[in-house]
Amino acid sequence: MKNTIYSAIIALLISVSQFLYAQENVGINFLKNKTWEETIAIAKAENKLIFVDVYTDWCGPCKVMDNEVFNQTKVASVFNNSFINYKLDAEKGEGPALAKKYTVKSYPNYLFINSEGILVYRSTSSMPVNDFINVGKNALLEANQKESIVQLDLLYPQMRKDKVFMKRYLDRRTLLRLENSDLLDEYISMLSEEERGEITNLQLIADNGMFLAKNLQLGISLETLKKHKSKFGDLKLSYKEGIDGIENTAIKTTQKKAIAKKDVNLLNKVLELKKSAHISMFDNKESVELEYYFGTRQNLQFIKLANAYATNHLLKISLDTLAKRDVSLYQFQLNNLRNSKNFKGNLEEEAEQYKHAVTIQLTNALNTLSKNVSVVSNDSGQLKKALEWMNYIEKITDTDPSYYENVIPFYTESQAILNYKIGNKKIAIEKLENMLVKFKNPRINSYFSPIILKMKANEIL
């Protein structure tokens, strides 16, 4: 009876606490003024996992999560309904002891702990809203497992040579959409040729290679899947992706990994599969190198290649040539729609998106170059050169403003920032304000208004 009353009191207290806090915060309701022991008691009373956001005062990504993710309504909907939410400063109060107990070595660190104080799931780093919601969903899945992914992580160092364990480990990590590219190659490498061709192992590779997973890289696992292409029809594919689609996703995954790790060997694997700019107009070796230099902040190499790529390639592409390719692609897509038995909409309206589908690749490429130049350079001459690229884009978009209306605001942003950085503050603000008047879109207004205010206040962008 006492336990029942105690549980009821605890439940009432936390309900009142969450209600009052909700009046001042539409985001995640983190408990206030509760000890860890009290939090455990609340979790027991409500039969919920505890979500612990482990942070420090000096952690930049922690502040990003507070300001851009934890305060979002759809994040709050998942976390307030499913978890007891608790903030822990790793350097104050109970923080150091709990951080040590749960082996916290980086920030932000997201711990999901059951009412017995056992860690069932963990994630780290700042991330977009949808990714963070998936972290919460993964934690709920893990709470019902007899053997948690945390326990499997701890077993991995001593069991990594065990094929059965590695398959079980990878199956779980794949279900949770965790990063598996190295682990997968490690596992496939230890198998015999016959074992590699087994449907269960090919399925594991395909599940990691699909677009929504993006956990397959260029390496032995992908080559195994390609080698057994004849068995591809026997696999269960969520989105019916073909082997070419999976390989393209693996290329992108490897490219991003090369940037994140500053790994030249991974970069070279990607470059081996790309053609030069004079053969492939936009998806080429040069564009991959530019992404790598920019992503790894090798600014001098980026600026040098950006100038060469824009001057010797992008700006030399004939607009007449692009127009002919636009027409060709438009007709191709229109014919596909006409021959489709499932398409029920308006043919012309649907095909409209392909009207300048090749030319827009040029404008997007130049915009990306210009925007990235504005990030890495303060040199007036270089910024003016990038502004010339943006002015060239403007001439193209002026030929069909209705087609380019979804990208014009962001092209205008790049133009404005370049003007602002070279001292043309008035022109920069006018461009953005005129664009807001022209589009009269609340979402565009909410995005660009803060930029205008910063310019007016002479703040650094």
Query: Of 301, 280, 282, which Cα lies nearest the Cα of 290?
Result: 301
Query: Of 132, 150, 145, 203, which Cα lies nearest the Cα of 174?
Result: 203
Residue 192 to residues 31, 186, 197, 201, Cα–Cα distance (Å): 53, 13, 9, 11
> Model's pTM, two decimal places?
0.75
Domain spans of the chain, in order of start: 2-144, 151-254, 301-456
Give the lowest-confidence range in 74-83, 227-236, 250-259.
Answer: 227-236
Query: For the residues 383-407, what does the mean pLDDT come to?
Result: 96
Could you tell me which residue, 376 or 178, shows the higher pLDDT?
376
Q: Is 93 left (phi over 0), alpha (psi -120 to 50) or beta?
A: left
User: What are 15-42's pLDDT values in tens digits?
Assistant: 444 444 444 457 999 999 999 999 999 9
Other CB atoms within 10 Å distance of the CB of residue 81: 9
Residue-level pLDDT at 238: 63
Q: CB–CB of 122/110 below 8 Å?
A: yes
Q: How do 49-55 and 109-113 pair as beta strands?
A: antiparallel
Residue 460 to residues 25, 420, 444, 455, Cα–Cα distance (Å): 30, 10, 21, 8
Q: Does residue 129 register a pLDDT over 80?
A: yes
Domains 2-144 and 301-456 belong to one CATH topology? no
Evaluated on CA atoms 286, 291, 295, 297, the torsion sign reads positive
What is the topology classification, in CATH, of domain 2-144? Glutaredoxin (3.40.30)
- CATH 1.25.40 at 301-456, yes or no: yes
Q: What is the rounded distance in angstroms from the CA atom of residue 34 to the CA atom of residue 14?
A: 10
Residue-level pLDDT at 461: 87
Q: Does residue 264 register a pLDDT over 60?
A: yes
Query: For the residues 341-346, what does the mean pLDDT come to?
Result: 80
pLDDT above 90: percentage of residues in the chain: 77
Q: What is the rounded distance in angstroms from the CA atom of residue 269 to the CA atom of residue 218?
A: 7
Query: Of 13, 51, 7, which Cα lies nearest the Cα of 29?
Result: 51
C-alpha R_g of the chain:
26
Q: Does residue 338 register a pLDDT over 90?
A: no
Q: Does residue 314 register a pLDDT over 70?
A: yes
Residue-level pLDDT at 186: 98
Residue-level pLDDT at 426: 97
- Residue 162: both structure tokens together: 């065990």
Q: Does residue 452 register a pLDDT over 60?
A: yes
Residue-level pLDDT at 5: 37
Query: Of 72, 188, 211, which Cα lies nearest the Cα of 128?
Result: 72
Residue-level pLDDT at 17: 45
The phi, psi pair for 30, rounded to 5°, reads -85, 140
User: What are 160-177's pLDDT values in tens digits?
Assistant: 999 999 999 999 898 877
Torsion angle defined by CA atoms of residues 349, 351, 357 and 363, in that order, rounded to the nearest 10 degrees: 0
Query: For the residues 116-126, what does the mean pLDDT come to?
Result: 89
Residues 6 or more apart in contact with residue 34 via CB below 8 angstroms? 42, 86
Average pLDDT, the chain: 91
Q: Is 400 helix (H, G, I), strand (E, B) or coil?
A: coil
Q: Does residue 221 register a pLDDT over 90?
A: yes
Could you tell me which residue, 2 or 343, shows the higher pLDDT?
343
- Select, from the ranges 55-64, 345-354, 415-424, the one with the highest average predicted confidence (pLDDT): 415-424
Residue-level pLDDT at 239: 64
Q: What is the rounded distance in angstroms from the CA atom of residue 346 to the CA atom of residue 360?
A: 23
